[in-house]
Every structure is written in structure tokens, then in C-alpha cells.
């Protein structure tokens, strides 16, 4: 398993359009567009920052993971994503190491990236995403 970089930091927000104003108008970042990921019940926008990105996530449903996160913690950093070279290989390796996973297999996230989440109990309380992009 090879970690290449911090791919992005995921931030849970109540209102994506409102939040984007701060990140684009005040911080001057550029959004690569808003995308709905039905499977995860989220609407997301990515904002490249140098070699990594910020991901703003708004829930599209009251029972989605982002809605539940905000209910429990309020808005804020929800996950950190690490780019790996080979996600299938990384998941195999992590299983061999006895690391608790949320996703046993990769699924497709925003932008067609292959992603999987590790369980926060295995990562000092951080929801870690691993992602592989073409
Ligand atoms: Zn993410």
C-alpha cells in the first residue's frame, strides 16, 4: 500500500451554495462544479488548493451520513482522504493488518474516484477515506 498525498479534506456543511460563497469569494478558490452522489446522499463541490482539495458536502436527505454527522457534531471536518496508488491492493493490505473497515470493497465517489472508508475506531477517531483516481 502506498499513500501518495492528502487528496482532500471533507467538510460537512448545511448549505453548499452558502458555504461556497466563503470559499470562492473570500478565499478565492475555484469550485470544479457541484455534483450529486446519490449513493451517499450528498451534494459535493471540490475546491482545488495546490496539490490537494477541499470537499464541501451537503446532505440531500435527512437520513444521509452527512445529515447525521451535522446533527451529532455540527458543521465541520468530516473526513480526511488519502490518495493511494491501488485501492484494491490497499484494502487487501489493511484487512491483512486487521484494520477495521467500513467499506470492504471500493465504491465510486464524486468525480468517478474509487473510494473506501476506514472505521474511525481504527484511526484515532478520524474518518479516513482512501481514494484512487485515474
Ligand atoms: Zn471525500
Dist. CA 80–CA 18, nearest whole Å: 22
As to burial, measured by CB atoms within 10 angstroms (0-12 exposed, 13-18 middle, 19+ buried), residue 43 is buried
CB neighbour list of residue 21: distance below 8 Å, 6 or more residues apart: none
pTM exceeding 0.75: yes
Per-residue pLDDT tens for 31-72? 999 999 998 899 999 999 999 999 999 999 999 999 999 999
Kindly state the greatest CA–CA separation across the chain: 46
Cα of 109 from ligand 1 centre, angstroms: 8
CATH architecture of the domain covering 3-132: Roll (3.10)
CA of 127 to the centre of ligand 1 (A): 10
Residue 96 CA to ligand 1 centre (angstroms): 24
Neighbours of ion ligand 1 (CB under 5 A): 10, 55, 81, 129
Q: pLDDT band at 87, cuts 50/70/90? A: very high
Amino acid at each position: 500500500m502506498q499513500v501518495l498525498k492528502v487528496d482532500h479534506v471533507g467538510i460537512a456543511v448545511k448549505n453548499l451554495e452558502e458555504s461556497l460563497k466563503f470559499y470562492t469569494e473570500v478565499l478565492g478558490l475555484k469550485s470544479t462544479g457541484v455534483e450529486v452522489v446519490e449513493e451517499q446522499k450528498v451534494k459535493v463541490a471540490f475546491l482545488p488548493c495546490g496539490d490537494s482539495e477541499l470537499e464541501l458536502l451537503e446532505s440531500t436527505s435527512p437520513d444521509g451520513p452527512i445529515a447525521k454527522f451535522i446533527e451529532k457534531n455540527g458543521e465541520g471536518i468530516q473526513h480526511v482522504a488519502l490518495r493511494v496508488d491501488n485501492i484494491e491492493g490497499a484494502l487487501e493490505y489493511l484487512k491483512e493488518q486487521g484494520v477495521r473497515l467500513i467499506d470492504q470493497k471500493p465504491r465510486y465517489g464524486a468525480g468517478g474516484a474509487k473510494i473506501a472508508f476506514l472505521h474511525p475506531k481504527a484511526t484515532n477517531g478520524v474518518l479516513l477515506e482512501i481514494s484512487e483516481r485515474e
